[in-house]
Chain A
Amino acid sequence: MHSTTTPRRTPFYEFHVAAGGRLIDFAGFEMPVRYRGDVREHQCVRTAAGLFDISHMGEFEVSGPDAAPYLDSMVTNDVGALEVGQALYSPACRPDGGIVDDLLVYRLPDRYMLVVNASNIAKDFAWFEEHVPRGVTLLDRSDETALLAVQGPRAAEIVRGHVPDAALDLGYYRFMIGRIFGAEGVISRTGYTGEDGFELYFHPRHAAEVWEGLLAAGAPLGLEPVGLGARDTLRLEMGYMLYGNDITDDTTPLEAGLGWTVKLGKASKFLGQDVLFRQKSEGLARRLVGFSLDGRRVPRHDMAIECGGVGAGRVTSGTYSPSLERPIGMGYVTAAIAKNGTALEILAGGTRLAANVVARPFYTRGTHR
């Protein structure tokens, strides 16, 4: 962990300062939490487009003849089924089923790229390295990779002309290698907001050209830089996981509702498979649920959840939802009550907040896919 050392800076640090970003230490990086306001930035992404620096995330390169079976042994989703130009979301589990991290796997023509959470770069690299067999090469490319996300209904208009035309035809979770302004990089139709958009990977030496180019092209269409505050409200409205909050070493993908990423029937065995198989056949003790509140008080991470006066679990994420104009949250509760409509109470200091279990995503008008 970097928490006791000087925070690191991404290649876009100077642009954050110039744009009036308020910087905080996040996973050992000095990152912008907001520029002009969480709600404004959130709405900007929902209605136009936002520009996110997410270069703090980690990128690993995996190559060699046995790269695919190796990755399939490490993650729960089916890497072997990936086509070149396709990306995959997957948890990686420990043998006990706990989640080491949730990550993206990109299949390039001659290798794979893994994109991991900033807070987990060191842990993940050690974990993946520990299991690397002969015939597979694992490299940490995080320091040589800048990563920007353009997210919002106008994202495609903004990048048009600055990426190959073919990039505009990419489907969700598809990518290509191509020109991003003057940089060569990976252009990926992915994101963490629920809106259409692109994630752009390129060498940090092109940082200024791409950042300034995107803002110049996008400002007339409403593009603004967006900080980690709105990134969190956007992802939570979609019910997307935040590692460290909603999923951890102590939760499994099945408990988190990520069963669609667990391919128990895939060709190779994988870490955590036995425990996940047993959980699936014997049933779960707890499940992650989403809940919504009528009042204005907001549920926050780690607040206790009760149901009928009995302790039922804890809040993992909570926020005010700018799109729904009400508080929302997620948390693990005993499986028996994990169904839509269950009335919960959340203990906020001395106050009890009434909440109801609702379906996710909370926000259903996003423009992705």
Chain B
Amino acid sequence: MSYPEDLRYTPEHEWARLENGVVTIGITRYATEQLGDVVFVELPEVGRKLEAMKPFGVVEAVKTVSDLFAPVAGQVVEVNGALTDNPALVNQEPFGDGWMIRVKPDQAADLQKLMSHSDYERLIEEHQA
């Protein structure tokens, strides 16, 4: 499977996209396939300060539950309210309408510490081997 080239990734299967100084964060297609049908996403409030690679929320699927980890440190500026009524968006469009939060990063350069799409694809191949 190939993953979007314009995103950065964490080993915990979050993705991050930097646009106009704001980082959009969600979970990858691989993560949604592992989780199964998502029924609830618990997200932080706008204004919350996040620490890099610390939990910022919880994703509940029918059979499993998983913490969400912040790819970068920063402050939450927006949460995806559409997931409240339609958590299935996470399964349907994990890289699109299923995004979770937007964060103003403490340092935009921190994104470069995350995995590239090719590094992430290799990680997935190892998981599936």
Contacts and interface: CB of A to CB of B under 8 A. Distances in A.
Interface stretch (A293-301, A332-340, A360-368): A293-301
Given A229-B62, A319-B62, A297 B40 contact: yes
Interface in B65-88: 65
Interface in B30-81: 33, 36-37, 39-40, 42, 58, 60-63, 65
Contacts of A345: none
Contact of A38 (B58, B60, B63): B63
A229 B62 CA distance: 8
Contact of A320 (B33, B42, B58, B60): B60
A319 B42 CA distance: 17
Interface residues of B, number: 13
Contacts of B40: 296-298, 320
B10 interface: no
A297 B91 CA distance: 18
Contact of B36 (A37, A296, A300, A349): A37
A295 B65 CA distance: 15
A233 B58 contact: no
B42 to A, nearest CB: 7
A300 B65 contact: yes
A37 B37 contact: yes
Contacts of A232: 63
A38 to B, nearest CB: 4
Interface of A: 22, 33-34, 37-40, 42, 229, 232-233, 296-298, 300, 319-320, 322, 348-349
**Closest 10 A-B residue pairs measured CB to CB?**
A296-B40, A38-B62, A320-B39, A39-B37, A320-B62, A38-B36, A38-B37, A229-B63, A298-B60, A37-B37
